[in-house]
Structure 1
Amino acid sequence: MLSYEYNLADGHAYRGWSPQEQAVVDSTPQKFRQVDRRQQDTIEAEYFETFYELAGQTLDTGHFSRFPCFTASAGIEIIANYLRLRGLSVTLIEPCFDNLKDILMRHQVPLEPFPDDLLEADGDELLAFLEQVTTDVLFLVSPNNPTGATAQRANFERIVQFCARTGKTLVLDSCFRFYMPDDQVYDQYKILADADIDCIVIEDTGKTWPTLELKGPFLSVSEGLVADISHINSDFLLHVSPFAIDLVTDFLRTSVQDCRGHIRGVAAQNRRVLHSELVGTFLTPVEREHMSVSWLRIDADVTAREVVEELGRDGIHVLPGNEFYWTDKSVGDSYIRVALMRDPEMFVKAAAQLGETCRRLTKAVAR
């Protein structure tokens, strides 16, 4: 647990509950008494149905099997075991959150970079890059953490069609999908099923709802990979808590009712507050505005670690950009990441202190 007064490092959701979410929390004692493991199949089925409805995705039980996990990182660990056992190489998105590349590297999976701006590049530029890919697997994150770069429908279809034509496997981390604007949501699962490629989609709720680490991550696995993933998965866990899944389902239902308005509203409100405090500093926001974190470029002769250390002295914890880059960590010297999913009242104070610290540092650097 970080001891800083303002923890803006962790990308999970630590904010107050909406009135609808508070009602869900108030119901937990009764839920705890009522939920029974014998209801596991029904509880999980209702969860998946609600999840896919909120995500705007097709729940295709014929093409995909779902494997609940304790954490999304545990799911990545399962995938990494599969990649290692099969001797597969990976083209991995960059930048990306450090535990993703750390897990793959620990399993000695050969890695090549996929620059995340290609997700939003011109179609010809994306295809030109894909034609040079020699690895067995594409491992992408969309929306990407930390930049928010996102594959729109046309480029997603290009990537899927490339995998279908070349026999490559696609691993897609969609853990930040619920922050996407409505006009950018499209049915990825239908596109994947229609192409009939080998693929795994990583899903999560911990980045979106404040459920004190009770969450509902899972892997959606295409049928051609189910046997291998199932065998590895069974070594990690037999089942997840039916209470946790039922609780998370109720949280998702609150977002179905308000069309994701509250979760997206908190991120947008805190982003506005942060950006206003950055005026007159050397920090420039460069993330996509639907993302639940802010990716800030340092436009001064100071490194990310120096900025992080200075902020830490004033009780604010943010992440330096270095660990998001795995081919050349020095590229991350020019970035820091600030988590936005915090209580707005607390975030106003944290952003004000962050701005004050950076304005002071701006003057010091200019001397």
Structure 2
Amino acid sequence: MTSTSGASTATDGSTGNLTSMETAALLGGLNLSDGHPRMPLTASQREIIDSLPVLFNEAEKRVFEEVEAEAQRTFLHGIGQLCAPIATGRLVTCYSSSVAMDITARALAQRTGHVALVHPTFDNIPDLLRGRGLTLLPVTEAELERGEPELPDEVGAVFVTTPNNPTGWVLSEDGLRRLAAYCARTGRVLAMDTCFRAQDPRAQYDTYAILTDSGAEWVVIEDTGKLWPTLELKAGFLAWGENTDLPLLEYFSDVLLSVSPLILLMITKFAQDASDGGYAELQELVRRNRQALAEVLAGSSVELTDPGARVSVARLTLPEDGPDAIALYEELAKDGTHVLPCGPFHWDRHGDGTRQIRIALARPESDVVRAADVVAGAVRARLDAARRAG
């Protein structure tokens, strides 16, 4: 494990962060870049959208705290989080999970100068933590699962993304018990980003019950933005333990008064629909698209990296004698197909992701198949050209 401070410098030739690449993909073309859902609404979801004028009138009349608690309860209970601290003052709603992340980073910086962060993970997490002056140390998924990472004394917090993006790894229930006990024993804060939780039933054990029983200080970030194609109408939730000594509520109040009650009412409806079969439909869509991806790539030199993952992104491993991830990304983007190179996910060692790209799966199956064909064809053409040149 190596220590990292300040902004990292890419060693794979990449420029800009992953979000800037995702923003470029919004300009047009075949967008398999960001992990946000971009498939068509289901029939029942369309009915909810059609009811927005009615929900607006309801939002005008109801007490905000009731609307907020209902949305939190419906969403979190629907994904197994029965012990979430709803209506305790220790669960607040943010515009997005990134806002909740930044509040968390600011609060952690009042406690410690050093945070152990899972490696790899989406690069806006290390960017936000570093942006608040924190020094980061990479820790592997395997170390976190064992629950006894070897950390220097100055590390005051452990930050975990589960399910992880881009690998799909899930910290098991027993793994969380071990890790939470370790943090309680060593006086470290345990922070968790669980934004893909609803996509993977393996992550839906009651995290809050385990964290509360452990006696550790903890923070959890949840998100609705990875689930439903609602054009970025979403919310992030920020929760913390009763004995967590961080100024989270103070920093939350510095950022916002409240999210829109209309958005919260919409989230309640979508969460109810999800619990009535919508989550199963989403999970089946992702499963089918991962299978379709694997079928298109079968026989090619591009491999599906994490076949057991269940989240709505998939890593692909490129052949050693083919183009690297940045070169392939740039070539595809010129022709209007947008994926992500995986170097920036490896925020401490960009070179670890040199031979991998990431494709989003919360899309129509036809888009996933087209993108897979384009990727396989581009790699094949590069390999053929290299053989002819040799």
Q: TM-score normalised to the size of structure 1?
A: 0.92
Q: Deviations over 1:144-177 (max 9, x none)?
A: 0000111111111110110111111000000000
Residue 319 of structure 2 is aligned to residue 314 of structure 1: no
Residue 41 of structure 2 is aligned to residue 22 of structure 1: no
- SS of aligned partner of 1:290: coil
5 Å-filtered alignment, 1:151-166, equals 151-166=171-186
- The structure where helix makes up a greater share of residues is 1
Across the aligned residues of Structure 1 and Structure 2, the Cα RMSD in angstroms comes to: 2.0
5 Å-filtered alignment, 1:1-367, equals 1=23, 2=25, 3-36=27-60, 38-61=62-85, 65-120=90-145, 123=146, 126-127=147-148, 129-130=149-150, 134-181=154-201, 185-225=204-244, 228-258=247-277, 260-287=279-306, 288-301=308-321, 302-367=323-388
- SS of aligned partner of 1:14: coil
Q: Deviations over 1:288-309 (max 9, x none)?
A: 4212100112222331101111
Unpaired runs of 5+ residues, structure 2, are: 1-22
Specify whether residues 37 and 132 from structure 1 end up closer, same or farther in structure 2 by C-alpha distance, changes over 3 A only: farther
Tell me the distance in 2 between the aligned counterparts of 1:256 and 1:272: 24
Specify whether residues 82 and 343 from structure 1 end up closer, same or farther in structure 2 by C-alpha distance, changes over 3 A only: same
Specify whether residues 72 and 366 from structure 1 end up closer, same or farther in structure 2 by C-alpha distance, changes over 3 A only: farther
CA contact (8 A) 1:146 1:337 kept: yes
- State which drifts further: 349-358 or 87-96: 349-358
CA contact (8 A) 2:217 2:244 kept: yes
Specify whether residues 221 and 310 from structure 1 end up closer, same or farther in structure 2 by C-alpha distance, changes over 3 A only: same
Tell me the distance in 2 between the aligned counterparts of 1:137 and 1:170: 6
Tell me the distance in 1 between the aligned counterparts of 2:245 and 2:47: 38
CA contact (8 A) 1:78 1:232 kept: yes
Specify whether residues 314 and 169 from structure 1 end up closer, same or farther in structure 2 by C-alpha distance, changes over 3 A only: same
- Output the amino acid matched with 2:102: E
- SS of aligned partner of 1:136: strand
CA contact (8 A) 2:169 2:309 kept: no
Q: TM-score normalised to the size of structure 2?
A: 0.87
Tell me the distance in 2 between the aligned counterparts of 1:168 and 1:293: 31
- Size of the aligned set, in residue pairs, is 361
Q: Deviations over 1:12-48 (max 9, x none)?
A: 1111111111111111122123312752111111111
Unpaired runs of 5+ residues, structure 1, are: none
CA contact (8 A) 1:90 1:135 kept: yes
CA contact (8 A) 2:29 2:337 kept: yes
Tell me the distance in 2 between the aligned counterparts of 1:244 and 1:85: 32
- Percent sequence identity is 33
Specify whether residues 333 and 180 from structure 1 end up closer, same or farther in structure 2 by C-alpha distance, changes over 3 A only: same
